Amino acid sequence: MTSPTSRPVAVVTGASSGIGAATARRLAADGFHVVAAARRADRLAALASTTPHVTVVTCDITRDDDVARLATVARDIGGPVTVLVNNAGGAHGLDPVESANLADWQLMYDVNVLGTVRVTQALLDDLVAGRGTIVVISSTAGFTVYEGGGGYTAAKHAQTAVAGTLRLELNGRPVRVVEIDPGMVRTDEFSLVRFRGDAEKAAAVYAGVAEPLVADDIADIVSWTVSRPHHVNIDRLVVRPLAQAAQHKVHRTP
Protein backbone atom coordinates (compact mmCIF):
# COMPACT_ATOMS: atom_id res chain seq x y z
CA MET A 1 0.00 0.00 0.00
CA THR A 2 1.22 3.50 -0.81
CA SER A 3 1.86 5.78 2.17
CA PRO A 4 -1.15 8.02 2.89
CA THR A 5 -1.03 11.54 1.48
CA SER A 6 -2.90 14.75 2.16
CA ARG A 7 -2.76 15.58 -1.54
CA PRO A 8 -5.91 15.12 -3.60
CA VAL A 9 -5.62 12.19 -6.00
CA ALA A 10 -5.84 12.45 -9.78
CA VAL A 11 -6.05 9.36 -11.98
CA VAL A 12 -4.73 9.68 -15.54
CA THR A 13 -5.12 6.87 -18.08
CA GLY A 14 -2.89 6.48 -21.10
CA ALA A 15 -0.13 8.08 -19.06
CA SER A 16 2.89 6.37 -20.61
CA SER A 17 3.41 8.98 -23.34
CA GLY A 18 2.02 12.03 -25.10
CA ILE A 19 -0.90 13.91 -23.58
CA GLY A 20 -1.28 11.44 -20.73
CA ALA A 21 2.32 11.71 -19.56
CA ALA A 22 2.27 15.51 -19.90
CA THR A 23 -0.96 15.67 -17.92
CA ALA A 24 0.42 13.45 -15.17
CA ARG A 25 3.47 15.70 -14.83
CA ARG A 26 1.36 18.87 -14.82
CA LEU A 27 -1.15 17.67 -12.24
CA ALA A 28 1.64 16.46 -9.96
CA ALA A 29 3.17 19.95 -10.20
CA ASP A 30 -0.26 21.41 -9.43
CA GLY A 31 -0.42 19.64 -6.07
CA PHE A 32 -2.10 16.32 -6.88
CA HIS A 33 -0.85 12.85 -6.15
CA VAL A 34 -1.19 11.30 -9.59
CA VAL A 35 -2.03 7.68 -10.28
CA ALA A 36 -0.62 7.15 -13.76
CA ALA A 37 -2.10 4.18 -15.60
CA ALA A 38 -1.02 2.61 -18.89
CA ARG A 39 -0.02 -0.74 -20.37
CA ARG A 40 3.73 -0.10 -20.73
CA ALA A 41 5.45 -0.59 -17.40
CA ASP A 42 8.83 0.67 -18.61
CA ARG A 43 7.40 3.99 -19.76
CA LEU A 44 5.52 4.41 -16.50
CA ALA A 45 8.67 3.69 -14.51
CA ALA A 46 10.51 6.39 -16.47
CA LEU A 47 7.71 8.85 -15.71
CA ALA A 48 7.76 8.05 -12.00
CA SER A 49 11.55 8.32 -11.82
CA THR A 50 11.45 11.96 -12.96
CA THR A 51 8.15 13.11 -11.44
CA PRO A 52 7.49 13.29 -7.69
CA HIS A 53 4.07 12.39 -6.29
CA VAL A 54 3.28 9.81 -8.98
CA THR A 55 2.16 6.23 -8.39
CA VAL A 56 2.15 4.04 -11.48
CA VAL A 57 -0.22 1.19 -12.29
CA THR A 58 0.28 -1.11 -15.26
CA CYS A 59 -3.26 -1.31 -16.57
CA ASP A 60 -5.14 -2.25 -19.72
CA ILE A 61 -8.42 -0.35 -19.54
CA THR A 62 -10.16 -2.95 -21.71
CA ARG A 63 -9.78 -5.48 -18.85
CA ASP A 64 -12.15 -5.43 -15.88
CA ASP A 65 -9.59 -6.88 -13.44
CA ASP A 66 -6.97 -4.29 -14.36
CA VAL A 67 -9.39 -1.41 -13.89
CA ALA A 68 -10.60 -2.77 -10.55
CA ARG A 69 -6.98 -2.90 -9.39
CA LEU A 70 -6.41 0.67 -10.62
CA ALA A 71 -9.37 1.87 -8.55
CA THR A 72 -8.06 0.07 -5.47
CA VAL A 73 -4.63 1.69 -5.82
CA ALA A 74 -6.21 5.14 -6.21
CA ARG A 75 -8.26 4.67 -3.03
CA ASP A 76 -5.27 3.37 -1.08
CA ILE A 77 -3.22 6.51 -1.77
CA GLY A 78 -5.06 8.12 1.14
CA GLY A 79 -6.21 11.44 -0.30
CA PRO A 80 -9.63 12.12 -1.80
CA VAL A 81 -10.00 11.04 -5.43
CA THR A 82 -10.94 14.32 -7.06
CA VAL A 83 -9.89 14.07 -10.73
CA LEU A 84 -10.16 11.38 -13.38
CA VAL A 85 -8.62 12.11 -16.78
CA ASN A 86 -9.90 9.59 -19.33
CA ASN A 87 -7.08 10.05 -21.82
CA ALA A 88 -6.33 6.54 -23.07
CA GLY A 89 -7.38 6.15 -26.68
CA GLY A 90 -5.90 6.25 -30.14
CA ALA A 91 -6.46 5.78 -33.84
CA HIS A 92 -5.62 2.71 -35.92
CA GLY A 93 -5.57 2.82 -39.70
CA LEU A 94 -7.10 5.09 -42.33
CA ASP A 95 -9.12 2.55 -44.27
CA PRO A 96 -12.34 3.59 -46.03
CA VAL A 97 -15.54 2.09 -44.69
CA GLU A 98 -15.91 -0.29 -47.63
CA SER A 99 -12.61 -1.99 -46.78
CA ALA A 100 -12.51 -1.34 -43.06
CA ASN A 101 -10.40 -3.54 -40.83
CA LEU A 102 -13.03 -4.46 -38.25
CA ALA A 103 -10.42 -5.52 -35.73
CA ASP A 104 -9.08 -1.96 -35.78
CA TRP A 105 -12.59 -0.57 -35.37
CA GLN A 106 -13.24 -2.92 -32.45
CA LEU A 107 -9.99 -1.91 -30.75
CA MET A 108 -10.73 1.80 -31.15
CA TYR A 109 -14.23 1.36 -29.70
CA ASP A 110 -13.01 -0.84 -26.86
CA VAL A 111 -10.35 1.65 -25.76
CA ASN A 112 -11.85 5.06 -26.53
CA VAL A 113 -15.44 4.30 -25.52
CA LEU A 114 -15.73 1.22 -23.33
CA GLY A 115 -12.44 2.00 -21.60
CA THR A 116 -13.73 5.44 -20.66
CA VAL A 117 -16.95 3.92 -19.33
CA ARG A 118 -15.16 1.14 -17.44
CA VAL A 119 -12.75 3.45 -15.60
CA THR A 120 -15.46 6.01 -14.88
CA GLN A 121 -17.72 3.34 -13.38
CA ALA A 122 -14.92 2.03 -11.21
CA LEU A 123 -14.11 5.44 -9.71
CA LEU A 124 -17.47 7.20 -9.76
CA ASP A 125 -18.37 6.65 -6.10
CA ASP A 126 -14.96 8.00 -5.09
CA LEU A 127 -15.38 11.03 -7.32
CA VAL A 128 -18.82 11.74 -5.85
CA ALA A 129 -17.37 11.52 -2.34
CA GLY A 130 -14.45 13.74 -3.36
CA ARG A 131 -16.55 16.34 -5.20
CA GLY A 132 -14.55 15.48 -8.25
CA THR A 133 -14.11 16.19 -11.94
CA ILE A 134 -14.17 13.75 -14.82
CA VAL A 135 -12.18 14.90 -17.84
CA VAL A 136 -12.74 13.12 -21.15
CA ILE A 137 -10.04 13.69 -23.77
CA SER A 138 -11.98 13.23 -26.99
CA SER A 139 -11.13 14.95 -30.28
CA THR A 140 -12.42 17.24 -32.99
CA ALA A 141 -13.09 13.85 -34.62
CA GLY A 142 -15.91 13.60 -32.07
CA PHE A 143 -17.99 16.05 -34.11
CA THR A 144 -16.39 16.05 -37.59
CA VAL A 145 -15.93 13.14 -39.99
CA TYR A 146 -13.35 12.76 -42.74
CA GLU A 147 -12.44 10.25 -45.41
CA GLY A 148 -10.57 7.27 -44.05
CA GLY A 149 -11.43 8.19 -40.50
CA GLY A 150 -14.65 6.25 -40.10
CA GLY A 151 -13.52 3.97 -37.31
CA TYR A 152 -11.82 6.69 -35.29
CA THR A 153 -14.50 9.32 -35.79
CA ALA A 154 -17.22 6.79 -34.91
CA ALA A 155 -15.41 5.93 -31.69
CA LYS A 156 -14.82 9.58 -30.80
CA HIS A 157 -18.43 10.52 -31.62
CA ALA A 158 -19.47 7.75 -29.22
CA GLN A 159 -17.04 8.94 -26.54
CA THR A 160 -18.47 12.45 -26.87
CA ALA A 161 -21.97 11.02 -26.49
CA VAL A 162 -20.87 9.23 -23.31
CA ALA A 163 -19.51 12.48 -21.84
CA GLY A 164 -22.68 14.42 -22.60
CA THR A 165 -24.94 11.68 -21.29
CA LEU A 166 -22.90 11.32 -18.12
CA ARG A 167 -23.17 15.05 -17.45
CA LEU A 168 -26.97 14.80 -17.67
CA GLU A 169 -27.14 11.72 -15.48
CA LEU A 170 -24.89 13.18 -12.78
CA ASN A 171 -26.81 16.44 -12.59
CA GLY A 172 -27.52 17.09 -8.89
CA ARG A 173 -24.43 15.20 -7.75
CA PRO A 174 -21.15 17.05 -7.06
CA VAL A 175 -19.19 15.74 -10.06
CA ARG A 176 -18.22 17.86 -13.05
CA VAL A 177 -17.84 16.35 -16.53
CA VAL A 178 -15.43 18.16 -18.85
CA GLU A 179 -14.84 17.21 -22.48
CA ILE A 180 -11.68 18.45 -24.21
CA ASP A 181 -11.54 18.12 -27.99
CA PRO A 182 -8.06 18.71 -29.43
CA GLY A 183 -7.40 19.15 -33.12
CA MET A 184 -3.90 18.68 -34.54
CA VAL A 185 -1.54 17.69 -31.71
CA ARG A 186 1.97 16.52 -32.55
CA THR A 187 3.07 13.77 -30.19
CA ASP A 188 5.70 11.08 -30.57
CA GLU A 189 3.26 8.25 -31.14
CA PHE A 190 -0.29 9.13 -32.22
CA SER A 191 0.26 9.25 -35.98
CA LEU A 192 3.01 6.64 -35.83
CA VAL A 193 0.56 4.16 -34.31
CA ARG A 194 -2.15 5.10 -36.80
CA PHE A 195 0.22 4.39 -39.71
CA ARG A 196 1.52 1.19 -38.14
CA GLY A 197 5.03 2.51 -37.59
CA ASP A 198 5.47 4.23 -40.96
CA ALA A 199 7.49 7.28 -39.83
CA GLU A 200 7.32 8.97 -43.24
CA LYS A 201 3.53 8.92 -43.35
CA ALA A 202 3.34 10.03 -39.71
CA ALA A 203 5.63 12.99 -40.35
CA ALA A 204 3.59 14.04 -43.39
CA VAL A 205 0.60 14.78 -41.15
CA TYR A 206 2.46 17.75 -39.68
CA ALA A 207 4.52 18.72 -42.74
CA GLY A 208 4.62 22.49 -43.23
CA VAL A 209 2.66 23.22 -40.05
CA ALA A 210 4.85 25.64 -38.15
CA GLU A 211 3.31 25.19 -34.73
CA PRO A 212 0.94 22.28 -34.19
CA LEU A 213 -0.26 21.79 -30.65
CA VAL A 214 1.92 19.68 -28.38
CA ALA A 215 1.07 17.49 -25.41
CA ASP A 216 1.91 20.18 -22.86
CA ASP A 217 -0.71 22.47 -24.43
CA ILE A 218 -3.43 19.96 -23.67
CA ALA A 219 -2.05 19.27 -20.20
CA ASP A 220 -2.26 23.01 -19.52
CA ILE A 221 -5.92 22.99 -20.54
CA VAL A 222 -6.68 19.98 -18.32
CA SER A 223 -5.04 21.82 -15.43
CA TRP A 224 -7.11 24.93 -16.08
CA THR A 225 -10.44 23.12 -16.31
CA VAL A 226 -9.98 21.14 -13.09
CA SER A 227 -8.75 24.19 -11.16
CA ARG A 228 -11.85 26.32 -11.80
CA PRO A 229 -14.14 26.89 -8.79
CA HIS A 230 -16.19 23.74 -8.39
CA HIS A 231 -19.45 25.41 -9.41
CA VAL A 232 -17.89 26.21 -12.83
CA ASN A 233 -18.14 23.35 -15.32
CA ILE A 234 -16.30 23.68 -18.65
CA ASP A 235 -18.70 21.45 -20.55
CA ARG A 236 -16.76 21.25 -23.79
CA LEU A 237 -13.55 22.91 -24.93
CA VAL A 238 -12.37 22.70 -28.56
CA VAL A 239 -8.70 23.54 -29.11
CA ARG A 240 -6.77 23.68 -32.37
CA PRO A 241 -3.46 25.22 -33.40
CA LEU A 242 -3.71 28.60 -35.07
CA ALA A 243 -2.76 26.98 -38.37
CA GLN A 244 -5.82 24.72 -38.29
CA ALA A 245 -9.10 26.51 -38.95
CA ALA A 246 -11.04 23.28 -39.41
CA GLN A 247 -10.41 19.56 -39.91
CA HIS A 248 -9.65 20.07 -43.62
CA LYS A 249 -8.31 23.65 -43.44
CA VAL A 250 -4.68 23.69 -42.35
CA HIS A 251 -2.14 26.34 -43.32
CA ARG A 252 1.09 24.74 -44.47
CA THR A 253 4.26 26.45 -45.60
CA PRO A 254 6.38 24.91 -48.38
φ, ψ of residue 243 to 5 degrees: the values are -70, -15
Question: 74, 123 in Cβ contact below 8 A?
Answer: yes
Question: 127, 174 in Cβ contact below 8 A?
Answer: no
Question: 36, 57 in Cβ contact below 8 A?
Answer: yes
Give me the torsion for CA of 70, 170, 33, 61, rounded to 10°.
30
146 is annotated as an active-site residue: no
Catalytic residue (choose from 109, 146, 152, 206): 152
Q: Residue 53 — left, alpha, or beta (φ > 0 → left; ψ -120 to 50 → alpha)? A: left
Give the CB-side neighbour count of residue 138, counting CA atoms within 13 A.
29
Catalytic residue list: 152
